[in-house]
Structure 1
Amino acid sequence: MRGHAAAALTAVLLATGVPLHAQTSEVPRSSWGTPDLSGYWEYRTTTPLQRPTEFGDRAVLTPEEVAAYLPRRLADIGHERDLQLNADWWQPGDLTDGRTSLIIDPPDGRLPERSEAALERARTLGLASRLRPADGPEDRERYERCIMGRTVPLLAVPPPRLVQFFQNEDHLIILHEQKSDIRIIPIDGPTAIADVIRLWSGRSRGHWEGDTLVVETTHLNGAWTVNGTSADMHVEERFTRTAEGIDFGFTITDPTSFAAQWSVEFPIAPGNGPLFENACHEGNYSMPLILSGARAEERRAAAGSR
């Protein structure tokens, strides 16, 4: 009898669209009652940000299609890895649920149309750009300067991302292993930063909407870009604790760069700590070689013009 009752209850819950993690498991909570986000977490995936055009409007692949597509996807990731010479750091992860893209909106799984200014930013300010000047270290990308990684918003791309969340009633702190980045996010508190101040990681503020922590970030300095975003982009990140991990998503709104806002979703799984020091600048010969290489190119160009 109990089995029949449980089966009936499950059927009702499924019919009403209640998420399975909410139906069957208790969400861990803090002593003050909010969902507990603290702990070590990891996010990585082989799923591409944008849906390959060959998949059309298909958001999910069959297991057979995943098996056929995965070798090609890993080859693409390997090519990018080889360009960055960081093979030891790259662990691409799985094809999350067989999805064809991390982007869930627009429905085609691809970035909205971009303005000419956005395309130029993506070309000159993006991580893969080969067009940055090299007059001095300040000209170079934030990765090369060990300033920050992909921290705003969180983005599940190789290499793996291990983070530690610290939480109290009025703050969420995210400590990244990569670049030892730290984000201190006030929750339901007044801003303490003047509007005229622009920061590398922007100004983040959090608030609870039910059991979801919503973090909004603005006031970025524009020295870097996410596929063409500008300093005026608005990022909304959503952290929803489940029994198994965290359902994470973000939406970027930037009307001067994109014809529409775009949204991404992926799961964050429990990770194994502790975090290790990134030591980005320890033995770092990349920057002097980049700058000395630029000077050598200038000398060669000058000699050729004589």
Structure 2
Amino acid sequence: MNKGLMIGVAVSLAVISTTAHSGESAGRRYQPPRLADGAVDLQGVWTNATATPMERAPELGTRRAFTDAEAAAISKAAIAAVEADARPSDPDKKIEATSSLPPVGNYNLFWTDRGMHVAVIDGEPRTSMIVEPLNGRVPALTEAAQRRIEATRVGRSNDGPEGRALGERCLLSFGYASGPPMLPVMYNSYYQIVQSPGYVMILVEMVHDARIIRIDDKHVPGSVRKWMGDSIGRWEGDTLVVETRNFRPDQSFRGSSENAVITERFTRVSKDKIVYRFTIDDPATFTETIKGELPFQSADANIYEYACHEGNYALPGILSGAREEEKAAAAASN
């Protein structure tokens, strides 16, 4: 990725972040391009990187939107942070003795791809991706979900590789990038959409996941559990609606159950923007339904292979360290 280009693009996006994109102006409805079968053309490379957090800051209460001035200030600060990260690392930098970071620092711009503009939906610079509950935060867990999640924490996560996170094992994207819902993390926030009759494929940059959405099909039996669930799509006017269920029990959103139903809506509102909306229905886990919205911006870029396992020494290192700790504990007890 050309990082200099990325900064330039991000600055441009920040400038226009508080204005409506082409096709979103009041009184004018955007006419999206269509494929030969009449379906709206969603194809291309898109990014959902944004300075808007998934959850709203508690002090903002039910405020769904920033003012234009607030949004501009957030973008300015985000751009300044990226410019600081882009400076060459100083190998001779002195740090405080209490710091846990190495002298050269942690991730710099080479590794990160954070959003530098506030997400704008319907002309509003949003304070959070979550719009329901109205406080913009993930709702409380049910008592049953609390017990279920606590039970999964019993035992050591370092007993074997299956106890580690899916991203560490290169099975799925880190965070919730692969989805559903598809949410940005600190880097690798590109998605490539490819359509063919009866199918939509979404290639996720992070860990190189590929979602296959079958159009106007039926869900597989509930006994069949898939990574990223079983996704069935349908067109409602110009909006692609995707319902996903049959998740594996070891994949979840904030502790959601394998019986969660997640519905996504993809609406192309301009040449360079798709509005992405999601709903999470999981009464076994959350006390309220979760709804969210964020934009996917077009990106003039390619998605390159994410070779997750190459040079991945962390996982064997973690497990080897745990075995050494066990040996030391056993020796101390004798």
TM-score tier by shorter-chain length is 0.7 to 0.9
Matches within 5 A, 1:263-278: 263-278=291-306
2:88 aligned partner: none
Tell me which amino acid in the other structure corresponds to 1:216. Answer: E
The residue that corresponds to 1:96 in the other structure is 119
Asked if the contact 2:24–2:270 (Cα under 8 Å) also holds between the matched residues in 1, the reply is no
Matched residue, 1:27: 32
* Aligned partners of 1:21 and 1:243 also within 8 Å: no
2:244 partner SS: strand
Q: Which residue of 2 aligns with 1:114?
A: 141
Instruction: Pick the aligned partner of 1:173 from 180, 201, 210.
Output: 201
Rounded to whole Å, the distance in 2 between the matches of 1:60 and 1:121 is 35
Q: Which blocks of at least 5 consecutive residues in structure 1 are unaligned?
A: 1-17
The alignment's C-alpha RMSD in Å is 2.9
Which of residues 310, 313, 323 in structure 2 aligns to 1:285?
313
**Gap regions ≥5 residues in structure 2:** 1-22, 86-100
1:91, distance to aligned residue in structure 2 (A):
2.0
Per-residue deviation at 1:200? 1.8
- Indicate which of 115, 134, 139 corresponds to 2:163: 139
Q: Distance in 2 between matches of 1:225 and 1:117?
A: 16
Deviations 1:3-60 (A, max 9, x none): xxxxxxxxxxxxxxx9638815321111221210111111111211111111122111
Q: Report the Cα offset of residue 120 of structure 1.
A: 6.3
Is the contact made by 2:265 and 2:277 (CA closer than 8 Å) also made in structure 1?
Answer: yes
| Contact 1:215 1:236 (8 Å CA) reproduced | yes
Measure, in 1, the Cα distance between the counterparts of 2:274 and 2:74. 27
Are the aligned partners of 2:113 and 2:188 in contact in 1 as well (CA < 8 Å)? yes
Where 2:270 maps in the other structure, the secondary structure is coil
- Structure 2 equivalent of residue 9 of structure 1: none
Structure-2 residue corresponding to 1:7:
none
Quick one: distance in 2 between partners of 1:21 and 1:159?
A: 34
CA offsets per residue over residues 134-169 of structure 1, 9 Å max, x none? 122122111001111131211133224111111022
CA deviations on 1:42-84 (whole Å, 9 max, x unpaired) are 1111211111111122111224434666759x99xx9xxx8xx
The alpha-carbon distance between structure 1 residues 169 and 21, as it changes in their structure 2 partners (threshold 3 A), is: farther
Give the alignment partner of residue 46 of structure 2, picking from 37, 41, 44.
41
TM-aligned CA deviation for residue 115 of structure 1: 2.0
**Residues 268 and 120 of structure 1: is their aligned pair in 2 closer, same or farther, counting only changes over 3 Å?**
farther
Alignment-derived partner of residue 257 in structure 2:
230
Q: 2:241 maps to what in 1? A: 214
Following superposition, the deviation at residue 217 of structure 1 comes to 0.6
Aligned: 1:195 with 2:219: no
1:111 counterpart letter in structure 2: V
Deviation at 1:95? 2.1
Identify the structure with the greater helix proportion: 1
Task: Please state whether the residue corresponding to 1:252 is helix, strand or coil.
Answer: strand
Q: How many residues align?
A: 277
Contact residue 178 and residue 206 of structure 2 kept, 8 A: no
Please list, as runs of the form range in 1=range in 2, the aligned pairs for 1:76-87 lying within 5 A after superposition. Answer: 87=108
Equivalent residue, structure 1, for 2:9: none
- Aligned partners of 1:60 and 1:100 also within 8 Å: yes
Whichever residue aligns with residue 240 of structure 2, its letter is: L
**Structure 1 counterpart of 2:214:** 186
AA aligned opposite 1:254 = D
**3-state SS, counterpart of residue 297 of structure 1:** helix
Deviation at 1:232, TM superposition (A): 1.1
Q: 1:50 to 1:168 in 2, by over 3 A?
A: same
Q: How does 1:288-303 map to 2 (within 5 A)?
A: 288-303=316-331
Letter in 1 for 2:30: S
The aligned residue for residue 15 of structure 1 is none
Contact 2:191 2:202 in 1 (8 A): yes
Q: Distance in 1 between matches of 2:280 and 2:50?
A: 20
Residue identity (%): 39
- Distance (whole Å) between structure 2 residues aligned to residue 111 and residue 201 of structure 1: 20
Q: Is the 8 A contact 2:51 2:74 kept in 1?
A: no
SS of match in other structure, 1:293: helix
Q: TM-score, normalised by structure 1?
A: 0.81
2:132 maps to a residue whose letter is D
